[in-house]
Amino acid sequence: MTITDTIETKFERERARVRNLYQYEDHYRAEGYNLIAGVDEVGRGSLVGSLIVAAVILPPNIFIDHLNDSKKITARRREILYYEIIDKAIAVSTVEASIEEIDRINVYRATLKAMLRAVRALPLKPDFVLTDAMSLYFGEGIGSLSIVKGDAKSASIAAASIIAKVTRDRMADEWDEIYPQYDFKHNRGYGTKKHLDAIKQFGATPIHRRSYEPVKSMYSAQLKIKF
């Protein structure tokens, strides 16, 4: 096999992988659903900041090269795909679950509520919603399906994961400028050793989630001292 043959084989495999991402959308369109939204979140495991949920409705018969779960592609590729998705999608929405909401009702419930808001924020009401492992009722007349690892199996969910990821990464870059000692530009608020060491040394920032460890224990200890 020549180098050219190898490149062509890799290209064909990649095209086949992307085409396979449309299996759920194609199936439900064949069932009579026209506007199919994919919904995904980014930031559930982060120790800081809002959680971002995106919803995306892609048109039928569209092919987006390199579309994939946002975690499986580079930051540069995500940025390119972000603009392509914005340009080609029928509808896109992004919403936040705030730090206060996450701390008040827990991150799981906050995620569900944000997913509902994201779908309702779309300028067009979808007929069907595909979610990444989150079962939810979106309202009368809207079908839904929860897909485990859906961001790697559905084009619409993958597109939503990219929109949410790029949106939140941009927020993390802003946090990093305000709190550079926590290394948010690289850890995105997740509990890396450098991040945890910074919490021990400098304490929690106003954007740290009070319901997450180790901040939860630190915050509880402070309250006990006050009282």
Euclidean distance between CA atoms 60 and 57, whole angstroms = 9
* Long-range contacts of the stretch 113-121 (C-beta < 8 A, 24+): 114/41, 114/51, 114/53, 115/39, 115/41, 115/53, 115/55, 117/53, 118/39, 118/53, 118/54, 118/55, 118/93, 118/94, 119/37, 119/39, 119/55, 119/93, 121/55, 121/93, 121/94, 121/95
pLDDT tens figures, 99-109: 999 999 999 99
Please give the domain boundaries of the chain with CATH numbers for all domains.
3-171 (3.30.420.10)
Q: Residue 61: what pLDDT?
A: 84
Q: How far apart are the first and last CA of the chain?
A: 75
Residues of the chain with pLDDT below 50 are: 5, 223-227
Q: Residue 221: what pLDDT?
A: 58
The string of DSSP codes covering 36-97 is EEEEEEE-TT-SBS-EEEEEEEPPTT---TT---GGGS-HHHHHHHHHHHHHH-SEEEEEEE
Exposure string over 186-195, b if 16+ CB within 10 A, otherwise e: ebbbebeeeb
Beta bridge partners of 39: 55, 131
Strand-pair category, 51-57 with 36-42: antiparallel
Q: Residue 195: what pLDDT?
A: 98
Q: Residue 7: what pLDDT?
A: 59
